[in-house]
Amino acid sequence: MLKDNTSDVTVGEAVASHENQAVDQHFNFAYLDERTKRMIRRAILKAVAIPGYQVPFGSREMPLPYGWGTGGIQVTASVIGPHDILKVIDQGSDDTVNAVNIRRFFQRTTNVEITTQTQAATLIQTRHRIPEMALTEDQIIIYQVPVPEPMQRLEPRERETRSLHGLAEYGLMHVKLYEDIARYGHIATTYDYPVLVNHRYVMAPSPIPKFDNPKMHMNPALQLFGAGREKRIYAVPPYTSVESLGFEDYPFEIQRWDAPCELCGSRDSFLDEVITDDQGGRIFVCSDSNYCETQQNTVEQTAVTAAQSVLKDV
Amino acid sequence: MPVDKQSPILRATGLNKSYGDRAALIDASFELWPGEVLAIVGESGSGKTTLLNALAARDQPDSGSVEFHLKDGALTDIFKMTEAQRRLLARTDWGFVHQNSADGLRMEVSAGANVGERLMALGERHYGKIRATACDWLARVEIDPARIDDLPRHFSGGMRQRLQIARNLVTQPRLVFMDEPTSGLDVSVQAKLLDLLRQLTQHLGLASVIVTHDLAVARLLAHRMIVMRRGRIVETGLTDQVLDDPQHSYTQLLVSSVLQP
Amino acid sequence: MTTPVLRLTNVSKQFTLHHQGLTLPVLQNVNFEVAAGECVVLDGTSGMGKSTLLKLIYSNYRVSAGSIQYSQAGLVPLELTTASPRELIDVRRHHIGYVSQFLRVIPRISTLDLVAEPLLAELGNYEHAVKQAHDIASGWLTRLRIPERLWGLAPATFSGGEQQRVNIARSMIKPRSLLLLDEPTASLDALNTQTVVTLIQEAIAAGAAAVGIFHDQSVGNQLATRRIDMTNFRSITCAAQ
């Protein structure tokens, strides 16, 4: 669905549209054949019907190795249509290698409109972050997942973890959290923090920082998760309960920083730490590049408007 | 005679189990009452482990039934329950102490987590309370509570066994299965462990089935004894009865073979 | 006429030693009764099966034939030879006491706890019940002249006489309706022997029935309300199977 796009064209967008090529005729739309897409869509439907439950699927060979987002790509390829507007981010940024390559892949195979604006996109494929700006009911966010099984480190046998999920036996998850508190004084997990979905399944939300976990709760958008190497798809339907695990006396807490974003002044977003010199100088910058830009423009706009009104009064 | 009219806590009827041609368990039956400790004694190949595994729902017998008296219910065939019900039982009302403590513990998490796991599995979500309960149980099995954060791999064999016991008893099960709980331990360590088991089973009124090849363990811990040979129960009775007045020829052989100090 | 506490009918006992190919007959045609308030003393030389008889009554040994019936006022008599293990455990816990010559030493348990144990089994383990049981146990140990400094120790290192007195305290601390006494004063000096005799007399006066073996004639004389000659129950001598 097209969104009204009235903000200035960013550097990222300019680069992207310059790279825009004609659809490569050697491939089916979005690379996967239609039967594969149907198979994946069936898996997605199942996943949506059982929030948080890992649905096995026949993961295909993709033109990039495991560990580079093949699961996310397959899910995107199965739901993308010619009128979709696609945003791809990696650790919050549109400009990193992974994001650029995946975006280029979809341009070659679908020729859909691409964007860096979170609010303009209909599909967002992401590696390890949720955009800062709130999503809507018209959007789908697709997460790239390395390890779909939240208990994998504690119980490597899949036969066992499947039983545990089936019987809702999640004592083991809390053992891990208990161990963290015993060892470090607090729950040490800072990313891929396990959540309870729809009061039933414990899910690995992918290595997003725990800062992002609250965004998953009651989100109007459809959240899909794809793990290509592990061959699992799972989903959180819109407006679904997603609670991060914790103890009554050691509840789940998100990260906080002492400093605001150096570029846009935000105190509400997830910040990356950037080392600036050899003396240990550092600054904190928004991880979500689109959000940061938008904030900066808003600040600038406010400043320009304020200056203009001052000049007007002169 | 004022014998109360409650039901047995465990009842085995006509249990049979074969592995291919080899009959490992033949027509085993008995009843166990609340608070009773039963020793299953026999040499290797006698079928005692097969029987224990059938009783603890670890291995379904070919025929026969095992009934357990549920806490707020009746005698129920455990193999007619769902897997979920059996697993819940195994976590709450039953305990299983393995011969090798590594089989009964999570070796890569702390002692406290090992003891607290069952509580967490049952929905306990207060870290402080879990830890306090774990400390309490470590003390009860005579492990220094200061070692609550240590890994079991840093414990001695005897300590690991005691940790296993704590891990099982934290949910106050009414029935505990033990598979050679003292084998492989030094004699002094064995004595300490046996004493602990004796006291705990008595204080908590546990019913217990203990598989052992050691008659001294049976004499110390058990009220009753079953002697097995080649898959069959050859003799059964009060422990002192079977040991002091053995009737079956095999039992007589077994008893006379024990070295007297 | 009230039912006797204990009634033996045609009891016989033989030991079949399968590996030696032997049958050892020990007792046959044992018939007698014991009523509350009686102390029956078994007379006979060594090897006549006195101890065996007590053990048969306690169900430590199994009869080869016959019936042993235990009755308590107001309750259905229990046939001990066919009773279930559960019933036997129950009857031993509450009603029939066995005082042997030997203390079964359980490692690491203190003397006080050992003596108090039979009371605790009944009361459960609440703190005040434990205190109460310990108080009663202390009373018994004092009476039997076990020095207080020994109460916290396990009896494994005590002298034979001290162990025996601990044994008696443990076996008698809980009032029972039937006492089986197997040479309880064997390793005791005159003073302690007399104390034990008094304790047994008190138990009998309180309504217990007793069957006893006493190597010491004077003790037997003090306690016996009746004597039974074991030669009546003698079996024919050893025969090969």
Does residue A243 belong to the interface with chain B, where contact is any CB pair within 8 Å? no
pLDDT of residue A11: 45
B3: closest CA of chain C, how far (Å): 7
Minimal-distance CA residue of chain A relative to B84 = A167
Q: Tokens for B13?
A: 């009827």
> Taking 80 as the threshold, does the pLDDT of residue A21 lie above it?
no
- Looking at residue C123, its pLDDT comes to 59
pLDDT in tens, C128-181: 778 888 999 999 999 999 999 999 998 888 888 888 899 899 989 988 999 999
Shortest distance between the Cα of B175 and any Cα of chain A, in A, equals 22
d(CA B119, CA B171): 7
Of C34, C17, C30, C24, nearest to C65 by C-alpha is: C30
- Which residues in B lie closer than 8 A to residue C72 (C-beta atoms)? 1
For residue A2, the model assigns a pLDDT of 35
Q: What is the pLDDT of residue C104?
A: 73
Q: Which residues, given as ranges, of chain B have pLDDT below 50?
A: 1-4
Q: Which pair of tokens denotes residue A115?
A: 């964007």
- pLDDT at position A4 over 60: no
User: What whole-number percentage of chain A has pLDDT above 70?
Assistant: 92
Q: Which pLDDT belongs to residue B73?
A: 79
Burial zone of B202 (CB within 10 Å; 0-12 exposed, 13-18 middle, 19+ buried):
middle
Alpha-carbon distances of B208 from A195, B31, B67, B115, rounded to whole Å: 39, 12, 15, 20
Q: Kindly list the distances between the CA atom of residue B102 and the CA atoms of B49, B120, B163, in Å, as whole numbers in the listed order.
A: 18, 21, 11
> What pairing do the DSSP bridges indicate for beta strands A232-236 and A222-227?
antiparallel
Q: Extract the tokens encoding A43.
A: 């898996």
Residue A302 burial (CB count, 10 A): 10
The rounded distance, in Å, linking the Cα atoms of B90 and B109 is 20
Per-residue H/E/C for C163-225: HHHHHHHHHHCCCCCEEEEECCCCCCCHHHHHHHHHHHHHHHHCCCEEEEECCCHHHHHHHCC
What the block records as the tokens of B108 is 């890569």
CB A1 within 8 A of CB A39: no
Given a cut of 70, whether residue C237 has pLDDT beyond it is no
| pTM (predicted TM-score) | 0.82
Parallel, antiparallel, or unpaired for β B175-179 and B94-97?
parallel
Q: How much is the pLDDT for A15?
A: 46
DSSP letters spanning B28-91 = EEEEE-TT-EEEEEE-TTSSHHHHHHHHTTSS--SEEEEEEE-TTS-EEEGGGS-HHHHHHHHH
CA distance A54 to B73: 36
| Antiparallel, parallel or unpaired: β C22-34 and C6-17 | antiparallel
For residues B122 and B90, the answer to whether their CB atoms sit within 8 Å is: no
Question: Tokens 């224990």 — which residue?
Answer: B52
Are C75 and B198 inside 8 Å of each other by CB?
A: no
Asked if C19 and B252 come within 8 Å (Cβ–Cβ), the reply is yes
- The answer to whether residue C241 scores a pLDDT higher than 50 is no
The whole-angstrom separation of Cα C160 and Cα C157 is 9
> How confident is the model over A104-122, as pLDDT tens digits?
999 999 999 999 999 999 9
> How confident is the model over C180-225, as pLDDT tens digits?
999 988 888 899 899 999 999 999 999 899 999 998 888 989 999 9
Q: What is the DSSP string of A252-311?
A: ------SS--TTT--SSS-EEEEE-STT--EEEEES-HHHHHHHHHHHHHHHHHHHHHHH
Given a cut of 90, is residue A53 above it in pLDDT?
A: yes
Question: Exposed e or buried b for every residue in A124-145, given b needs 16+ CB within 10 A?
Answer: bbbbbbbbbeebeeebbbbbbb
- How far apart CA B188 and CA A4 sit, in angstroms, is 81
- Pairing status of strand A242-244 against strand C226-229: unpaired
Q: List, as one string, the DSSP characters of A187-243.
A: ----BS--EEETTTEEE---S-BGGGHHHHTT-SSEEEEEETTTTEEEEE-TT--EE
CB contact under 8 A, B130 and A178: yes
Give yes or no for residue A3 having a pLDDT over 70.
no
Question: Which residue, among B248, B203, B247, B201, has the nearest Cα to B220 in the 3D structure?
Answer: B201
Residue B109 with chain A: CB contacts under 8 Å: 154, 175, 179
